[in-house]
Structure 1
Amino acid sequence: MRTRFSFRRRENDDVQVDMTPMLDIVFIMLIFFVVSSSFLQIRSLAVQLPAAQSAQRQQSEPLHLQLLGNGQLRWQGQPLQAHELGEVLAQLPPHTKVLIEADSQVPHGQVVALMDKIRQAGIQQLAVGVLPQ
């Protein structure tokens, strides 16, 4: 006697992975890290600094160097010859702030040469003055 086995294929149901448990775990971990992290509050202490004879006051206002349209230089409003500029800049400490105010008619190359001369003197804080619009 022959038995006949019939194999029936099951229809392929789309297998889906349920994401709900994974999302629950992610949110629980997020809440855990937010609650367990510590937020630092930096509190400043009132410190009384000691006085010193050799202390230098920080300069808040920059020193003005003007380059006029006719090529004339002015240092702090006083006329200055181009060959004297190096000597004046050499006497300044490196933390000095210098503001170049060049006339709009002055060629760009002259302004760059002036900036280069200031940098060679060791002054690192340099600004160019403009008018707001």
Structure 2
Amino acid sequence: MRRRNMVQLSEKDASVDMTPMLDIIFILLIFFIVTTSFAKSQGFLINKSENNKASSAPSDNIMIHIDENNILYFNTKPVDIERLTARVENFVANHATENIIFLPHKETNYQRVVTVLDELQQFKRLKISIGLYKQQSK
């Protein structure tokens, strides 16, 4: 009879209360969420104009595009990437301009686009607009 009582007691004591373990898991989860640091991604800032209306005052815009053969053009003239900043500086010195229109072809290598944008990034006072270059039919 004693053995039977011991078997019944051990079956009753075999249950484990999971509530404290869940509390500890939630506390650890909150700790890791609070102590995690989030890294900001590096990129470039594009400022959009606040008014969407076209300006009535004529101004010279700088147009830079890359065609389907990865040739870089500055105002319809081919240019090397090394000479691009000098061309922009010369144009800004001789013309009243506020805008750079950059039109890469849809099949252009992304690294080429990023390289051109890195070169143009030094001109803080100019607004850079990015579009998609479509070759005009002749």
Name the TM-score, length of structure 1 as normaliser.
0.46
Name the TM-score, length of structure 2 as normaliser.
0.45
Which has the larger Rg?
Answer: 1
The answer to which structure has the higher helix fraction is: 2
